[in-house]
Structure 1
Amino acid sequence: MTTQDPASHVPPRLPGVRDPGDAWVTAADGTRYWGRFGAAGLLVHDPARGVLLQHRAMWSHHGGTWGIPGGALHAGEPPAAGALREANEEAGVPADAVVAFATSAVDREVWRYTTVLARVERSFTPHAGDAESLELAWVTVDAVAQRELHPAFAQAWPRLRRMLDVRPVLVVDAANVVGSRPDGWWKDRAAATQRLVQRLAVIAREGLPAAALELDGDRWMPRIEMVIEGRARDATAVAPVVMTVARGSGDDLIVERAAERREQGDAVTVVTSDRGLAEQVREAGATTRGAGWLLALLDEAADPPASR
């Protein structure tokens, strides 16, 4: 443990120019929450090292306890972007070293806090970038509860811990999904497939409602893999969607990919309305959803925020 510096009891001088979001919000019962536009924190998980925890400076709210880097959101700032920004400022977390995969929100009516869960893609060494930390440490998942945790984080931790072990994957039968809606796809199958992959990339980045995947939390950013065949091969991949070309039977490749992902411990959902294929992938341990399920989610994601 780091010896507490007496200076950690003294809050730093506030900057002359502050973001409008850096302010308290007061609920009807008098409870105060930091962040006029809400707040967000980043729970970074590295399978080799554990989760990144922040030992909070003594002057801060619940000082001396352990939590995750985070803070007030800026006006109009998405929670994932705000959590990454705060984690970079407070703990030196490089935005390109982690990938967000889920969010879990707590809504207090006048204020909302979002935990953004992210996995480490490349190793990095965290470092305190401001006066909000006594120290930063990688803590194994099993040892987190042994720390003196920030009360709100302690309450959320059992749910967050369960979420760390879930890796949702969608394997999309592109030919079946494209062919399920009469939008002229038969005139140009490659172009129709290209439209689908572009729409899938949106939900891969922004996530799906947890209820749609029957998972805990608020939203999930699943790994999405499209299996394409025939004339659709001329379509090009759009990150982060993975596009796999079937050299032979597309159905056989979908069953193969579903089985491989299940063996790796992923929660696999195959999107197809082909009954025979659906039966095969269920035998491989995957769940199935029809093309209409996915198209409804894509349509919802295309709506402007005001209409959601």
Structure 2
Amino acid sequence: MRGHGGARLAVAWQAGGVSGPLDSHPDPSDSGDAWVYAPDGRQFWGTYGAAGLLAHDRTRGVLLQHRVEWSHFGGTWALPGGARHRGESAVDGAYREAAEEAGVPAEAVRPRFSAVTDLGFWSYTTVVGDVTTPFEPEITDPESLELRWVPIAEVDQLPLHPGFEQSWPALRAELERSETIVVDAANVVGARPDGWWKDRASAADRLLAVLERLAEEGLPAAALGLEHDHWWPRFRVVLEGAARAADTRDAQVPELTVVRAPGEGDEAIVHEVRELTARKPPHTVWTITSDRELRERVEAAGSRTLGSRWLWERIDALSG
């Protein structure tokens, strides 16, 4: 799997161009560089579908590509992107194409969510990512006339590729959205009787290890009741008591932050929720706990809630 900002991403392959199972590993020799034709004669590039990266820099805007005249819908502006290789995930395809066409360093953009336009016989996946390390794009192949950071308010003023023009309003509406999951580690660990009480620090270590993977691989949008296809929320895990001796993993996975409660874990969780929900632009927060009193407190502070069972189901799915 391809690393993006230190993350290992394993996103389900989105159907496009062919039917039937594909190889489990991408095949660079089968680039998918060919046209797919719709019943009405329209043509779409990419035997196995296509993908593009919408890199969002909160200061400069979004990175757009001015397409050369000889390309499909030449002269318009769109995202760096293109055909996916056989067996390649949409996320890997989007990052590869962005690197090939615009010199986008994979480690500089953290994926936030993906959106799929699926026509049945062909699909296009837009991967929306936050720029975590500023970079300057560079034209690295002959498909671009220009690469430009375009302020969000000015995107509509450009002649856009029809596909991007159609999807832009929905994508724009989500650009300022941030998602964080606050985890009541004591409640989650205590929900599964695996001997955790014998060594609470080790039990917390095990939880942090699987949450690393969850932070890296993200969640289906449906699991959070969100639009689009896939989301990569950030995690804040609150440890209390003996569990505070667990190893920190912040440096390994920036998307996961460990909070060591100085006292009661519930107080630290409520504090985290209040701090997150007060951020501008608005921050959507979920708190994972099955403690009824704590659920009422964080909901009053603006958090949505999910039970420990919900999280264990997501964790079990990683190894399933």
TM-score w.r.t. the length of structure 1 is 0.89
Q: Percent of counterpart pairs with the same letter?
A: 52
Deviations 1:11-39 (A, max 9, x none): xxxxxx96432222334444332222221
* 2:195 maps to amino acid: G
Alpha-carbon distance in 2 for matches of 1:20, 1:120: 27
Q: Which residue of 2 aligns with 1:268?
A: 285
**Aligned twin of 1:78:** 89
- Does the 8 Å CA contact 2:31/2:83 hold for their aligned counterparts? no
Moved more, 233-242 or 107-116: 233-242
Counterpart CA distance in 2 for 1:171 and 1:182 is 22
Match of 2:71 among 47, 50, 60: 60
The residue number in structure 2 matching 1:9 is none
Q: Deviations over 1:180-232 (max 9, x none)?
A: 12222223322222222222122211111112222221110000110011222
Which residues of structure 2 form unaligned runs of 5+? 1-27
Q: Superposed, which structure 2 residues align to 1:87-236 within 5 Å?
A: 87-236=98-247
Farther off after superposition, 281-290 or 151-160: 281-290
CA positional deviation for 1:117: 0.4
Amino acid at match of 2:260: V
Helix, strand or coil for the counterpart of 2:318? helix
Q: Which runs of 5+ in 1 are unaligned?
A: 1-16, 304-308
- The residue number in structure 2 matching 1:12 is none
Preserved contact between residue 65 and residue 77 of structure 2 (Cα < 8 Å): yes
Q: Deviations over 1:151-186 (max 9, x none)?
A: 111110011001111101000000000101222222
Superposed CA deviations along residues 109-166 of structure 1, whole A, max 9, x for unmatched, are 2222110001111211111111111111111111111111111111100110011111
What secondary structure sits across from 1:169 in the alignment?
Answer: strand
8 Å contact kept, 1:42–1:117: yes
What is the DSSP-based 3-state SS (H/G/I as helix, E as strand, rest coil) of the residue aligned with 1:294? helix
Question: SS state of the match for residue 20, structure 1?
Answer: coil
The answer to whether structure 1 residue 247 and structure 2 residue 262 are counterparts is yes
Q: Is the 8 A contact 1:103 1:219 kept in 2?
A: yes
Counterpart of 1:266 in structure 2: which amino acid? H
Q: Which residue in 1 is equivalent to 2:319?
A: 302
Is 1:293 matched up with 2:301? Answer: no
Looking at structure 2, the residues matched to 103 and 177 of structure 1 have their Cα atoms a distance apart, in angstroms, of 28
The residue number in structure 2 matching 1:279 is 296
Would you identify which runs of 4 or more consecutive aligned residues in structure 1 move more than 4 Å? none
Secondary structure at the counterpart of residue 198 of structure 1:
helix
Aligned length: 287
